[in-house]
Amino acid sequence: EDQVTQSPEALRLQEGESSSLNCSYTVSGLRGLFWYRQDPGKGPEFLFTLYSAGEEKEKERLKATLTKKESFLHITAPKPEDSATYLCAVRDLYNQGGKLIFGQGTELSVKP
């Protein structure tokens, strides 16, 4: 059964304190791994898609990496506006539809 586990559940950082969020996954075949950001009361906002081990993508202070078993979202010198819940999701290669399997999310809080 496809499964996604994110850790930690919550992370508190001081502004400028870099860290990483982890997403471990189990899937029959990986078609894609997705990172989203969700602010309270809003819908998930797309950040990155990764397809194969070794792939990396960057956007401002965020960098996503992928191995065969997990993905990391690295946050460099975070700012308070980076505070949000970060969601990881996978799409199974053998699922004919576009169903995404989501993890529980990591709630990030960045204090000034």
Partner 1 sequence: NAGVMQNPRHLVRRRGQEARLRCSPMKGHSHVYWYRQLPEEGLKFMVYLQKENIIDESGMPKERFSAEFPKEGPSILRIQQVVRGDSAAYFCASSPSLAKGDTQYFGPGTRLTVL
Residue 89 contacts residue 66 (beta carbons within 8 Å): no
CA distance 110 to 69: 28
* Shortest Å, Cβ 14 to partner 1: 27
Q: Beta strand 56-59 with 62-66: parallel, antiparallel or unpaired?
A: antiparallel
* Shortest Å, Cβ 98 to partner 1: 5
Give the interface with partner 1 as residue ranges (CB under 8 A): 31-32, 34, 36, 42-46, 49, 51, 87, 89, 95-105
- Closest CB to partner 1 among 40 and 112? 40
Q: Beta strand 70-75 with 84-92: parallel, antiparallel or unpaired?
A: unpaired
- Closest CB to partner 1 among 14 and 46? 46
* Shortest Å, Cβ 24 to partner 1: 14
70, two tokens? 């997990």
Residue 90 contacts residue 101 (beta carbons within 8 Å): yes
- Closest CB to partner 1 among 9 and 17? 9
Q: Any idea which residue has 């965020």 for tokens?
A: 62
- Closest CB to partner 1 among 24 and 76? 24
